Amino acid sequence: MSCITTNSLSKSYDDIAAVDGINLDVRSGQVFGFLGPNGAGKSTTIKLLTTLIQPTGGSITILGTDAIKHPLKVRNRIGVVLQQPSYEPTLTVEKSLEKYGMMWNVDRKQRRDKVEELIESFDLQEIRKKKNEDLSIGQRRRVQVAREFMHEMELLFLDEPTSGLDPSARRKLLDFLKNKVKTGLTIFYTTHVLTEAEYLCDKIAIINKGKIIAVDSPDELKNRFGNEKTIKIHIAGIQQNLLNLLAGIQDCKIDFNSGTNITIHSNKSELVLMEVLQLLNKNNVIIEDLSAMPTNLEEIFIKAVNDSNASSA
């Protein structure tokens, strides 16, 4: 079942198309990643989907409801954590959580239980009595995300939720979100940390210049854009003439850094590697270390955006 559907959704400011006719189909019970460079239209899209701004054209259906005609119905069923910091400076962490539960009319006992659950899940025990104004940026961000779970929702929008978090807190949040999705929650997730998207997301859309340029699972995106592999070879001792010898090898890009490290990028990595090894052996070059790595999501993202920019130039 579709949780979010858009058809030719657009938003323009004067002559600038921030969102340019995008079509989305987000299925229920998954994490949908929304990636793109700065200024690509990610935040504008989230503001449209969460009914914070009105579109210039197109349609939006959220949880079966026309979000343009009935924004309040949509808002009652979703959660939203935007990039902008949002906190009550003089309230303690636990009071902030409790207040948010009151705003959503959560009854007193359930509110207390939720506060305790979230303080443990987000590792807020040591700061529960601290005022928000005395917290670090990362701590405030954890409270901001935790606060959203004080109420029941079917769909959650998270815009760069791990900004300011250390690696341990980031992983704990991602695992928490994974477990919530297992209960039926749908998450629309934007991030600049591509390893997060690869770890968390069931499906990913890449947006650039207001247009969707790719939509697929992380694995399928790798199949589409990730035929290229990176081979790294560390050799013993500096070989001054080796780069000239390697320059004759076809179907690859070779970087020869610091005289002892060779990096090879190729869509025909197995054939290229065989040719490189034969050349090294012929010239009595000793190999100390060798590794071949498949293309990761970051490289796919860069390639997709670069290809999009080239085609629109």
**SS3 assignment, position 231:** strand
Q: How many residues make up the chain in this entry?
A: 313
Sequence-distant (6+) residues with CB within 8 A of 69 are none
Buried b (16+ CB within 10 A) or exposed e, 272-283: bbebbeeebeee
Domains of the chain are 2-217 (3.40.50.300), 227-294 (3.30.70.100)
Q: What are the pLDDT tens digits along the chain (313 aa)? A: 899 999 999 999 988 899 999 999 999 999 999 998 888 999 999 999 999 999 999 999 999 999 999 999 999 999 999 988 888 999 999 999 999 999 999 999 999 999 999 999 999 999 999 999 999 999 999 999 999 999 999 999 999 999 889 889 999 999 999 999 999 999 999 988 888 998 999 999 999 999 999 899 988 887 776 666 778 888 887 666 777 777 788 888 887 766 688 888 777 777 888 888 888 888 888 888 888 776 677 777 877 787 778 777 6
CA dist., res. 295 & res. 72, Å (int) = 43
Quote the pTM value.
0.79
Say which residue the tokens 């409790």 belong to. 98
Parallel, antiparallel, or unpaired for β 186-190 and 78-81?
unpaired
Residues 6 or more apart whose Cβ sits within 8 Å of residue 230: 263, 264, 265, 292, 293, 295, 299
